[in-house]
């Protein structure tokens, strides 16, 4: 899904903060991507390298921290671990599970050189 | 791989993670009696969490001194678990021992807890954080949603729609599900009942907008070029060019794509996903994000059901599995079957948007009256 748009979003966010902080070159960027966000991590890396060419982020290392998928099972009234959006509750098998964590897509921080 | 959205699964493996630093380095700290000592320690991984909470727990040293207000560095063996605990705001204890001896020799182990730190014990620099080998000034905490920009534009659109009582619908589907035919049919019937406008999204050509304009209704075509979805800014700009009447219906036909448009809020009231029976009943499971984001699923081309082995009940079950709250309407844009239910669904939405605007106007008028009364009293 739209990894190129996401990579451009990352570039835009980091550039804005880097300009504000007077950072000329960025050495590494840390993202937090939820396991349920539907982001193809390898595609995102590919796109990140492509969109950062000839910018202050060129060649920057990209670290992607995965955030675990969590859901609220309405039948169990409890928070459970889920690996995919439409997974059944691992405790009771119900599909009435609302994702509560793991859909995040955020720029956590970056490091200047 | 598609170079625009990266739709294909990446096969390359990239070693891009920031390597953990294992370099030993020294930290100095001061004891209450005024003496300083330094000792080296090793980080098994880079610190990425900022901790700026000062340790306030007083503890007694072997020599009997009450030693409050000094700092101890500590190493994390399991950075991921630690970061998760921090993110969750869980307070946890740190244990450390001093082996180093200096003029005020002491040798002890102690344990003390601290509150959740979105922050740290040796991070008073501008970045409020510490990473081995990096100075304070060079690390920037961002903590910002990647789609924040789009969401801000979507909020602007949403406020505008609310102010005008516009009921905005974002129609999504795979290419060829019959969205445009359905839209033309919808417009032909509804244009006599209410005010409406259309935003058409396609990669290329304005063929769809021409089809809509042939019905006599205002339509703006957005060509996304290589883009695979409409975003909120595009829709905002299209709305600037449309005659967007108060208390009207705005139909936004997204680019035919069941993947990317799911994540881009346009400021609409609801996403409506169109699934044609020729596509198979397992689509909701294959593209869960879209069916999860939608409020209503229109099962289109039901006039073809006699010629297919499409299992309607299974389709319904699959959609509910992904989204327990989804509403479902079977329709045929060609035969007209089921369309009246769809039209009523839209009219109810327009009615609700109109009522909400009425409430808004009433509240604003009330506020003006209150302010005028205050002014008159002075």
Smallest CA–CA distance, residue A78 to chain B, in Å, is 17
Q: Give residue-wise pLDDT tens across range B210-224.
A: 999 999 999 999 998
Nearest CB to B149 within list A9, A84, A96: A9
Pick the CATH number of A3-68+101-112 from 1.10.10.60, 3.40.50.150, 3.30.2320.50, 3.20.20.450: 3.30.2320.50
Tokens 């005659």 correspond to what residue?
B243
Q: Give residue-wise pLDDT tens across range B306-329.
A: 999 999 999 999 999 888 899 999
A47 is known to lie in a ligand binding site: no
pLDDT tier for residue B127 given thresholds of 50, 70 and 90: very low
Q: Is the pLDDT of residue B17 over 60?
A: no
The reply to whether B106 falls in a domain is no
Q: B234 — phi, psi (to 5°)?
A: -60, -45
**Number of domains comprising chain B:** 1
Q: B46 — phi, psi (to 5°)?
A: -65, 140
Mean pLDDT of chain B: 74
B-chain residues within 8 Å CB-CB of A14?
142
Q: Answer with the residue of higher pLDDT: B248 or B227.
A: B248
* Residue A111 bridge partners (DSSP): A28, B139
Q: Where are the domains of chain A?
A: 3-68+101-112
**What confidence score (pLDDT) does residue B336 get?**
96
SS3 A69: coil
Mean pLDDT of B152-163: 94
Smallest CA–CA distance, residue B137 to chain A, in Å, is 8
Q: Give residue-wise pLDDT tens across range A40-91.
A: 899 899 999 999 999 999 999 999 999 999 999 988 999 999 888 777 889 8
Residue in B34, B44, B106, B108 with CA at minimum distance from that of residue B74:
B44
A-chain residues within 8 Å CB-CB of B263?
1-2, 38
Q: Is the pLDDT of residue B126 over 80?
A: no
Q: What is the pTM of this model?
A: 0.64
Nearest CB to B10 within list A1, A23, A46: A46
Residue of B nearest to A74 (CA): B324
DSSP label at residue A88: P
Mean pLDDT of B350-357: 92
The reply to whether B292 falls in a domain is yes
**What confidence score (pLDDT) does residue B58 get?**
39
The reply to whether B66 falls in a domain is no
**What confidence score (pLDDT) does residue B135 get?**
52
- Chain A 30-69, residues with CB within 8 Å of chain B CB atoms: 30-31, 38, 40-47, 50, 61-65
**What confidence score (pLDDT) does residue A4 get?**
86
Mean pLDDT of B146-157: 90
A2 touches chain B (CB under 8 A): yes
Q: Give residue-wise pLDDT tens across range B233-285.
A: 999 999 999 989 999 999 999 999 998 898 899 999 999 999 999 999 999 99
Residue of A nearest to B20 (CA): A63
Torsion of CA B347, B353, B356, B360, to 10 degrees: -140
- Please, what is the angle between helix A3-21 and helix B148-164, to 10°? 100
Q: Give residue-wise pLDDT tens across range B51-96.
A: 333 333 434 344 444 433 344 444 444 444 444 445 544 444 444 4
A-chain residues within 8 Å CB-CB of B6?
1-4, 40, 43-44, 46-47
Residues B142, A113: C-beta atoms closer than 8 Å: no
**What confidence score (pLDDT) does residue B279 get?**
94
Smallest CA–CA distance, residue A93 to chain B, in Å, is 11
SS3 A44: helix
The reply to whether B92 falls in a domain is no
Nearest CB to A9 within list B146, B289, B320: B146
User: Best residue in A48, A109, A112, A113 to probe B by mutation, most B CBs within 10 Å?
Assistant: A109
Smallest CA–CA distance, residue A77 to chain B, in Å, is 16
Mean pLDDT of B157-163: 95
The reply to whether B180 falls in a domain is yes
**ipTM exceeding cut-off 0.90 for this assembly:** no
**What confidence score (pLDDT) does residue B157 get?**
96
Q: Is the pLDDT of residue B290 over 80?
A: yes
CATH number at residue B211: 3.40.50.300
């Amino acid at each position: 899904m739209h990894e190129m748009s996401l990579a451009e979003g990352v570039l835009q966010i980091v550039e804005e903060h880097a300009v504000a902080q007077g950072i000329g070159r960025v050495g590494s960027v840390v993202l937090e991507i939820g396991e349920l966000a539907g982001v193809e991590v390898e595609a995102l890396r590919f796109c990140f390298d492509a969109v950062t060419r000839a910018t202050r982020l060129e060649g920057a290392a990209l670290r992607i921290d995965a955030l675990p998928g969590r859901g609220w099972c309405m039948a169990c009234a409890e928070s459970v671990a889920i690996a995919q959006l439409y997974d059944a509750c691992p405790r009771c098998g119900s599909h009435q599970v609302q994702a509560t964590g793991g859909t995040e897509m955020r720029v956590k921080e970056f490091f200047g050189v | 791989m598609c170079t625009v959205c990266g739709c294909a699964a990446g096969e390359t493996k990239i070693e891009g993670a920031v390597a953990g630093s294992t370099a030993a380095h020294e930290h100095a700290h001061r004891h209450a009696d005024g003496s300083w000592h330094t000792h080296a320690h090793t980080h098994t991984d880079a610190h990425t969490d900022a901790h700026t909470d000062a340790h306030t727990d007083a503890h007694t040293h072997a020599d009997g001194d009450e030693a409050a207000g000094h700092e101890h560095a500590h190493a994390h063996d399991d950075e991921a678990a630690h970061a998760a605990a921090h993110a969750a705001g869980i307070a946890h204890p740190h244990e450390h021992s001093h082996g180093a001896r200096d003029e005020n020799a002491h040798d002890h182990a102690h344990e003390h807890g601290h509150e959740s730190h979105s922050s740290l014990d040796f991070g008073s620099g501008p970045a409020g954080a510490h990473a081995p080998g990096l100075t304070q000034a060079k690390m920037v905490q961002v903590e910002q949603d990647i789609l924040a920009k789009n969401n801000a534009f979507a909020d602007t659109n949403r406020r505008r729609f609310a102010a005008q009582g516009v009921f905005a619908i974002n129609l999504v589907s795979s290419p060829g599900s019959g969205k445009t035919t359905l839209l033309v049919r919808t417009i032909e019937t509804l244009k006599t009942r209410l005010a409406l406008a259309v935003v058409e999204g396609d990669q290329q050509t304005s063929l769809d907008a021409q089809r809509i304009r042939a019905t006599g209704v205002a339509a703006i075509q957005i060509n996304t070029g290589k883009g695979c979805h409409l975003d909120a800014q595009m829709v905002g700009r299209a709305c600037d060019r449309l005659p967007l009447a108060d208390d009207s219906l705005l139909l936004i036909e997204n680019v035919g794509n069941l993947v990317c448009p799911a994540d881009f809020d346009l400021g609409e009231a609801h996403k409506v996903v169109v699934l044609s029976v020729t596509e198979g009943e397992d689509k909701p499971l294959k593209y869960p994000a879209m069916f999860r984001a939608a409020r209503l699923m229109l099962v289109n081309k039901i006039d073809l059901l006699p010629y297919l082995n499409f299992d309607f009940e299974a389709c319904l079950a699959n959609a509910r599995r992904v989204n327990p709250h989804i509403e479902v309407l079977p329709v045929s844009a060609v035969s007209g079957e089921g369309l009246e239910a769809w039209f009523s669904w839209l009219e109810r939405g327009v009615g609700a948007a109109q009522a909400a605007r009425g409430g808004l106007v009433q509240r604003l008028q009330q506020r003006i009256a209150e302010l005028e009364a205050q002014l008159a009293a002075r």
